[in-house]
Amino acid sequence: MKAWPFPKLIAHRGGGTLAPENTLAAMRMGHALGYQAVEFDVKLSADGVAILMHDPVLGRTSTGSGEVCRLPYDELARQDAGLWHSPQFAGERIPRLTEVAAWLLAHGMRANVEIKPCPGRDIETGHLVGNLCRDLWLGHKVQPLVSSFSVAALTAARRVAPDLSLGLLVKDFEPEHVSVLESLGCASLNCHHAQLKPAMVDALHDRGYRVMVYTVNCVDRASELAVWGVDSLFTDSLSEMKSAFPDWLFV
């Protein structure tokens, strides 16, 4: 297998539970705690701006309401994306992918960019995010891993950026996923840790794929997965995991 450019621990949505997810504040939090890599979600506004946002509608992690795909970025940018978490983050904005990429590159951090398309926008989102990841990280030694549950989005990203490293996101690993990994030329399978078995890790490694698991917040479970040979773990428990496995923050 090729050298793996990601550490064992990756900060989920930037700052785990310690900062408002998918914001620049979250990226700053992960960096401040010593994390070298972050994961975050990207979708498109109504006017085709790539933004960091998990949900298809506003409300849970921001002020405002309505479907993200129906709102232009200017309107999304006016919403408060930090106050829901805690008063100290009041005024945090919904950021553009371009802003976050620039910040991460300036601070030497690595990224797993999850394409999280709004319903019906898989191909459009995959195409635009693929283009942006290709261009924003052009010339940099460590490229992002671009992942998604959407095969259509990953296929679109692959078409416009043949050299991207892709990760197929699934809840549970099934044998039929191997053909998808092969057809897309994926670098990794990213799956929920609960149903994973050691034999699955071995089988994927034998085929040349890395194994990444979400979202691991228990130290004992992280230890078990590491023994099985899992390559990277996404976590919301940034402080606890750092205390237990300080060496896992580094490549």
Residues with active-site annotation: 12, 54
Distance CA 164, CA 72 (A): 28
In whole angstroms, give the CA distance from residue 63 to residue 84: 8
d(CA 177, CA 173): 7
Rounded distance, CA 210 to CA 231, Å? Answer: 6
Q: Are 122 and 50 in contact (CB under 8 A)?
A: no
Helix (H) or strand (E) holding 235: strand 232-235
